[in-house]
Amino acid sequence: MNGSRSALSRAITLIESFRPDHQDTAHRILDNCLQHRHDTLRIGITGSPGTGKSTLIEAIGLEILDNPANKLAILTIDPSSKRSGGSILGDKARMEKLSGRKDVFIRPSPSSGHLGGTSPKTHEAILLCEAAGYNIIIVETVGVGQSETSIESMVDYILLLILPGSGDELQGIKRGIMEIADGIAITKTDEASKKSVFHSKASCESALKLLPKKHPAWDPQVIPSSSISGEGIKEVLDSILQFAAFLHGNNLFEENRKKQLNQLFRSQVDLQLKQAFYNHPEISSSFAAIAAKVEEKNFSPLSGAKKLVEKVIRSPR
């Protein structure tokens, strides 16, 4: 809370760890952080690999930092993870105009087992960044991830990036991400023809009309943008700030945050229940044998499951 970046880094490492003693320390740190939060804005940025997430984050980030009151934390997809679809360049080559600045904290988010999506741990990392004084948090994701730990459950605004002429509109609809987007940026317009940018914008706008509305009183904007030429960057940020003002003005901001905290709690209960169960020595020692008997039809999947569960759930007093 005194602004030490290395303390923040170490705290996030503890959060990400699967070691029980690390988790205990992480729990204690988070418990002590929660009361110290201040007004923050959390922005989720999602899009298929190659849509230019890193460069757009850098361009918007520089725009954000034009206001000296802002401190920016960025939770990125770890580019070292092959399956995440992240950049093949090293971390240093990404966002080079931002990394090294004192008002910016960049951290590859844990992608293990989440394929470049978000996990409950990402939500916890956000809480830690906020406690460390960062008032704007950008979370990068490729949008996959289990529904209960979706990007939607941890940020205030979701920006979807669409590469013109790529069929990304279809991908966005397929993954359900277009329904939860609060705004769409058509990216890399400097590399695309005007016609293809126009076509992508029109497809997005008609898809948004077909899909159910996320907020009855908010129409997501579709903004052509380029991190190279600077086209649309200011407009994208303005639209985000406008949306935040809209949420605050309708008392939806705090309500939404409370709901998200409750969701995090519920997903933590399910997660810790599963962890405690599957890491339990009685389960690890008998799971495979019971599964084999089920496959050989010695007993039903129901009976097999019951035998396992009864091994570790304490009988009611």
3-state secondary structure of 312: helix
Q: Is 289 in the site for a second copy (CB under 8 A)?
A: no
Q: Is 30 in the site for a second copy (CB under 8 A)?
A: yes
Piece in contact with a second copy (CB under 8 A), picked from 39-47, 57-65, 184-192, 307-315: 307-315
With b meaning 16 or more CB within 10 Å and e meaning fewer, what string describes 47-73?
Answer: bbeebbbbbbbbbbbbbbbeeeebbbb
Identify which of residues 248 and 274 has a Cβ nearer to a second copy in the complex.
274
What strands lie across the sheet with 136-141, from one edge to the other? Answer: 104-109, 72-77, 136-141, 41-46, 157-162, 183-186, 221-224
* The residue to which tokens 């490492």 are assigned: 13
CA distance 38 to 35: 9
* Nearest in space to 150 (alpha carbons), one of 40, 11, 260: 260
Using alpha carbons only, give the angle 65, 69, 72 rounded to the nearest 5 degrees. Answer: 50
Residues 33-72 that bind a second copy (CB under 8 A): 33-35
Amino acid occupying residue 242: Q
Identify which of residues 231 and 271 has a Cβ nearer to a second copy in the complex.
271
Quote the tokens at residue 231.
């086209």
Piece in contact with a second copy (CB under 8 A), picked from 168-176, 197-205, 224-232, 238-246: 168-176
Q: Is 302 in the site for a second copy (CB under 8 A)?
A: yes
Residue from 7, 115, 252, 271 in contact with a second copy (CB under 8 A): 271
Identify which of residues 10 and 194 has a Cβ nearer to a second copy in the complex.
10
Q: Is 113 in the site for a second copy (CB under 8 A)?
A: no
Residue from 5, 10, 27, 195 in contact with a second copy (CB under 8 A): 27
Residues at the contact surface with a second copy, assessed by CB under 8 A:
23, 26-28, 30-31, 33-35, 120, 124, 127, 167, 170, 173-174, 176, 210, 258, 261-262, 264-266, 268-274, 276-277, 280-282, 290-291, 294-295, 297, 299-306, 308-309, 311-314, 316-317
